[in-house]
Structure 1
Amino acid sequence: MADARVKDRAKQLARGQGDETEVTLSTGVRVRLHSVSGSLVEDVKDAIPFPKVPVVFIKEKEREEENPSDQGYLAAYEEVRNKRGNAVLDALLLFGLELLDGVPEGDWLKKLKFLERKGLLDLSGFDLEDDFDREYLYKRHVAVAGADLQTISPLQSLRPEEVARARRSFLGDAPRGADRGLRAEALDPDGDRDEPAAG
Structure 2
Amino acid sequence: MLILPILLAFQTAEGSGYKTNDFALLGSDGKKYTVKTLTKGKPVFLVNLYDMEGSQGIADLNRLSQMTMGKVRVVGLTTLSTRGRGLARVKELGVRFLVLGSDDPYSILDIVPRLVIKEAGSVSYLSNTLLLPDRRLTHVWEGYNRWTLKRMSQDALKYGHVRLKIDFSRFPEKLQRGYGEFYGLGPG
- Normalising TM by the smaller chain, what interval? under 0.3
More helix, by proportion:
1
TM-score between both structures, scaled by the size of structure 1: 0.25
Structure 1 or 2, whichever has the larger Rg, is 1
